[in-house]
Amino acid sequence: MDVKVRDVMTPGPIGVDYNSSIGEAARTMRDWGVGAVLVVHDQSLYGLVTDRDLVVRAVAESKGPDEPVGPLSSADLIGVNADEDIAEAMKLMRENCVRRLPVIDAGQVAGMVSLGDLCHADDPASALAGISQARANT
């Protein structure tokens, strides 16, 4: 049986408001053990921001944790339907050079799927899957 995106995704989308501070976004990533959060603006999905984005788009530009996170996010998101096979998610990541996709279910954002999630689903016994399951740095 083909594995579906909903089977491997991280459910319950984690988001921050466009006007939240960079520090708040970083704490959200830390507390949930994730590397990316969705950014919501005026109650609609605006974009996605990763831990790396905070570093290369803010810290490298001498911005501190007090500044708003919204402008750092990537808009024009590529989403994947929860009922798609994971092969489709892999294809989307490869074609768009992204490592994370918001998962859409019944018109709503239902979660997020990462390269690590697919890696684990692809071959749960592999050494690399073990790594990707390891606890994030804190």
The residue within the footprint of other proteins, chosen from 64, 83, 108, 124 (CB under 8 A), is 64
Q: Does 128 bind other proteins (CB under 8 A)?
A: yes
Q: Is 79 one of the binding residues for other proteins (CB under 8 A)? A: no
- Residue 95's SS3 state is helix
> CA-to-CA distance for 121 and 75, rounded, in angstroms?
27
**What x-and-dash track marks residues 89-108 binding other proteins by CB under 8 A?**
-xx-xx--xxx---------
Q: Should residue 8 be labelled a site residue for other proteins when binding is judged by CB under 8 A?
A: no
> Taking contact as CB under 8 A, which single stretch among the options 7-15, 25-33, 76-84, 104-112 is the one that binds other proteins?
25-33
Distance CA 66, CA 75 (A): 21
Between 108 and 124, whose beta carbon lies closer to other proteins?
A: 124
Query: How far from 50 is each of 1, 72, 88, CA to CA, in Å?
Result: 32, 9, 22
Find residue 102's DSSP bridge partners.
112
